């Protein structure tokens, strides 16, 4: 069994919204000591309400994989990337930093069902959930006094989490907004693939894919087998091309904040991939034994 020497998940417990918010606030103060954290505190509290079914017109989140923990992980990853770019000398306005974090917090809310949607779970909206997320985000921000510019920019950032949607087709208002879109897109991938319990959660993702009608995965083991291919041909390719320049900022954050000179997200992803390959080999050996292939 390979050993997990990665420190990522020892730093902040994203199962705890309170701990996650506290660390995001710490990071924001590193970026700008004069920043007022109260707007992010309120939005974070409201996101918890939305996922808990306390937002008018919406049910509680019922997807087991894309849940509040994943949202917390994505928001934390976004804050870390913003700080990493700050360490590299990039400057962003407080408005854009806030809108970026809003995008990270709302990016999967499209998987939450409305009160009128009575069948199944929110997983049936996997395809196209980004546009549903943008719609809910727009409704929330409009009701809370945000400008149309904020809503438009935030929508473009959330669109960056749609893996197969070309970023060149997103009409960003500026290069700064484009960069923040890259932050949200990268944070989503980091939060998913670097999750300490990624392997244990994959069967839950398989169930979501089944309900959504996504083809290509007949069994959870097949999803395990194709995860490395997904990382190499989709996730890593997107991070190196369309999200270029942002994923590497994580290393600058961990060096500055924790005195760890590594990109802990990449370390964790590599560990998860190795562990899943090991699991697939072990499972195939067990199946071979059960089918009599191991007999002389």
Q: Which residues contact 35 (CB under 8 A, 6 or more apart)?
A: 28, 29, 94, 97
Mean pLDDT of successive 10-residue stretches along the chain, which has 296 residues = 65 96 97 93 97 96 95 98 98 96 98 96 96 98 97 98 95 98 98 91 90 83 83 92 96 97 95 85 66 54
Contact 114, 57 (CB under 8 A): yes
Q: Is residue 295 part of a domain?
A: no
Distances (CA, A) of 62 to 158, 178, 277: 21, 31, 29
What was the pLDDT predicted at 284? Answer: 61
Residue 2, in any domain of the structure: no
Count of structural domains, the chain: 1
Q: Which domain holds residue 101?
A: 11-290
Q: Is residue 5 part of a domain?
A: no
- Asked if 270 and 194 count as a contact pair (C-beta separation under 8 A), the reply is no
> What are the helix (H) ranges across the chain?
8-11, 17-31, 38-51, 68-87, 94-106, 129-143, 148-159, 175-193, 198-212, 220-230, 236-240, 249-258, 264-290
Residue with tokens 């000591």: 33
Which residues have CB under 8 Å from 5's CB, separation 6+? none
Residue 49 is assigned to a structural domain of this protein: yes
- pLDDT reported for residue 75: 98
**pTM for this model (two decimals):** 0.92
CATH code, domain with 215: 1.10.1300.10
Question: Is residue 296 included in any domain, yes or no?
Answer: no
pLDDT of residue 161: 98
Does residue 156 sit within a domain?
yes
Residue 18 · residue 48 · CB < 8 Å: no
Please report how many Cα atoms fall inside a 13 Å half-sphere around the Cα of residue 100, on the Cβ side: 29
Sign for the CA dihedral angle at 288, 205, 190, 241 comes to positive
- Beta-bridge mates of residue 99: none
Cα torsion 200, 202, 205, 210 to 10°: value is -120
């Amino acid at each position: 069994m390979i050993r997990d020497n990665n420190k990522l998940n020892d730093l902040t417990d994203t199962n705890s919204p309170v701990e996650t918010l506290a660390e995001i606030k710490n990071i924001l103060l590193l970026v700008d000591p004069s920043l007022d954290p109260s707007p992010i505190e309120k939005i974070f509290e409201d996101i918890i309400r939305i996922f808990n079914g306390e937002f008018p017109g919406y049910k509680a989140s019922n997807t087991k994989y894309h849940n509040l923990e994943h949202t917390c992980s994505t928001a934390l990853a976004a804050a870390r990337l913003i700080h990493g770019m700050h360490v590299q000398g990039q400057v962003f306005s407080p408005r854009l930093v806030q809108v970026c974090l809003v995008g990270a917090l709302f990016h999967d809310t499209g998987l939450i069902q409305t009160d009128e949607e009575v069948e199944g779970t929110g997983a049936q909206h996997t395809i196209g959930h980004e546009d549903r997320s943008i719609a809910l985000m727009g409704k929330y921000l409009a009701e809370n006094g945000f400008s149309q510019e904020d809503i438009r920019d935030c929508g473009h950032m959330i669109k960056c989490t749609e893996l197969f949607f070309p970023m060149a087709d997103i009409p960003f208002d500026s290069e700064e907004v484009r960069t923040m879109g890259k932050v949200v897109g990268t944070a989503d991938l980091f939060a998913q693939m670097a999750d300490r319990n990624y392997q244990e959660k994959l069967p839950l993702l398989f169930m979501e894919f089944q309900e959504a009608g996504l083809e290509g995965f007949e069994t959870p083991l097949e999803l395990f087998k194709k995860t490395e291919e997904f990382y190499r041909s989709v996730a890593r390719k997107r991070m190196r091309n369309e999200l270029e320049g942002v994923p590497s900022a994580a290393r600058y954050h961990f060096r500055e904040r924790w005195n760890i000179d590594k990109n802990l997200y990449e370390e964790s992803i590599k560990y998860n991939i190795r562990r899943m390959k090991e699991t697939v080999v072990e499972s195939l050996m067990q199946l071979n034994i059960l089918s009599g292939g191991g007999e002389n």
